[in-house]
């Protein structure tokens, strides 16, 4: 990125990160539901999409969204939302709540029968009313096994009955430059387009993400969680090169599983949990992304809110990769029709 800002605001510069500059002349549009703190939105914006709409029930997350997208309409409750409220958009993206299907949940998983993960049905209702060209859903890998796979089958069947060709793939954020092992399932639906999901989700060529066999055998045999960054002979800090997944939905955690991912000071014999700022880095969000307007929250409350919001978020690099694939497919398809 050039050192000159070309008239862009500081928010724009912070949001755009390492944008590769490949933006379509005619900007495609994307709307997000279950927006959280804007992981999908940030990735799609970096890929050249125009963000048209957001929907998020959490007040803290809505405040963060307002910091970064002050002009974008943000609806509060998907249950009260109608398709006509959403501006025409080529892509709808959303990570519907994972709490009822997550393996991190203690005890019984209610799945899509739960009050939170069951909001998928409201998402499907809106999709059926508007039929956007592409829908992109994200959830924890536990969705695949919830109720013996029946919940996942419902998601796929529901989209298919609405006229969508559907594909899915599990991605780990660590393979996209994110310093965290974070597996999530991504579901792509393309309206009356049988080739779309496969072309978007799967590369015809082998890439570095497809095989991590480039390392020597002795390196590959060492768990990435055992590798550390820092000076273990000094006063620290020393951190793992790859963090464990940051959760926000398990009773065992408060924003992040700090019993497994932590900062240590070997000479002092001390350890501490990650700060919210460090969690932003582990999620690959820009620095201070989750700091709202000053004075709105007490410091202790703010930390908890930031941990929780980050634990629920989509990692922007994965979203950007998918957005670029979607954009390329839609542009190619449009050119073929023309």
- Tell me how far apart the alpha carbons of residues 241 and 243 are, in angstroms, rounded to a whole number: 7
**Contact (Cβ atoms closer than 8 angstroms) between residue 249 and residue 98:** yes
For residues 71 and 215, which has the higher predicted lDDT (pLDDT)? 71
Task: Give CB contacts under 8 A, 24+ apart, made by 28-31.
Answer: 28/90, 28/91, 28/327, 28/330, 28/331, 29/87, 29/88, 29/89, 29/90, 29/91, 30/89, 30/90, 30/91, 30/92, 30/93, 30/323, 31/86, 31/87, 31/89, 31/91, 31/92, 31/93, 31/132
Q: pLDDT, tens digit, for every residue of 31-78?
A: 999 999 999 999 999 999 999 999 999 999 999 999 999 999 999 999
Across residues 204-210, what is the average pLDDT?
58
For residues 221 and 42, which has the higher predicted lDDT (pLDDT)? 42
Of the listed ranges 129-133, 153-157, 219-223, 318-322, the one predicted with least confidence? 219-223
Query: Could you tell me which CATH number the domain at 26-203+315-337 has?
Result: 3.40.50.150
Query: Active-site residue numbers?
Result: 98
Q: pTM of the predicted model, to two decimals?
A: 0.83
Task: State the pairing for strand pair 134-140/91-94.
Answer: parallel
- Closest Cα partner for 316 from 149, 118, 180, 130? 180
* Average pLDDT across the chain, whole number: 80
The domain spans of the chain are 26-203+315-337, 224-311
**Residue 237: per-residue pLDDT:** 79
Across residues 255-261, what is the average pLDDT?
54
Contacts of 74 (CB under 8 A, 6+ apart): 35, 53, 54, 55, 56, 62, 65, 66
Across residues 183-206, what is the average pLDDT?
93
Q: Which two tokens stand for residue 201?
A: 């989700």
Sheet holding 262-265, edge to edge: 228-230, 238-240, 262-265, 270-273
Residue 21 in this model has a pLDDT that exceeds 50: no
Residue 229 in this model has a pLDDT that exceeds 80: no
Across residues 110-134, what is the average pLDDT?
81
**Residue 26: per-residue pLDDT:** 66
**Contact (Cβ atoms closer than 8 angstroms) between residue 326 and residue 91:** yes
């Amino acid at each position: 990125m050039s050192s000159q800002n070309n008239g862009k605001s500081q928010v724009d510069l912070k949001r755009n990160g390492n944008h590769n500059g490949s933006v379509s002349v005619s900007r495609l549009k994307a709307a997000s539901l279950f927006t959280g703190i804007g992981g999908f939105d940030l990735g799609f914006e970096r890929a050249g999409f125009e963000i048209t709409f957001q929907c998020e029930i959490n007040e803290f997350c809505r405040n963060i969204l307002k910091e970064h997208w002050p002009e974008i309409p943000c609806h509060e409750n998907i249950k009260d939302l109608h398709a006509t409220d959403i501006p025409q958009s080529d892509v709808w993206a959303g990570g519907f709540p994972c709490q009822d299907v997550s393996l991190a949940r203690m005890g019984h998983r209610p799945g899509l029968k739960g009050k939170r993960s069951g909001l998928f049905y409201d998402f499907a209702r809106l999709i059926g009313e508007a039929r956007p060209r592409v829908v992109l859903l994200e959830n924890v890998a536990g969705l695949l096994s919830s109720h013996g796979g029946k919940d996942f089958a419902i998601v796929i069947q529901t989209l298919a009955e609405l006229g969508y060709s559907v594909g899915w793939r599990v991605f780990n954020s660590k393979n996209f430059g994110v310093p965290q092992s974070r597996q999530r399932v991504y579901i792509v639906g393309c309206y009356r387009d049988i080739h779309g999901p496969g072309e978007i989700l799967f590369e015809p060529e082998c890439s570095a993400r497809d095989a991590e066999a480039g390392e020597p055998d002795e390196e590959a045999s060492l768990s990435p969680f055992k590798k550390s960054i820092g000076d273990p002979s000094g006063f620290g800090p020393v951190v793992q090169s790859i963090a464990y997944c940051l959760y926000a939905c398990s009773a065992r955690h408060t924003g992040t599983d700090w019993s497994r991912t932590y900062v240590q000071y070997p000479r002092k014999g001390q350890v501490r949990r990650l700060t919210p700022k460090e969690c932003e880095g582990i999620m690959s969000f820009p620095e201070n992304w989750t700091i709202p307007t000053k004075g709105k929250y007490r410091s202790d409350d703010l930390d908890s809110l930031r941990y929780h919001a980050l634990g629920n978020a989509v990692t922007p690099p994965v979203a950007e990769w998918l957005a670029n694939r979607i954009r390329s497919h839609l542009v190619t398809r449009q050119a073929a029709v023309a």
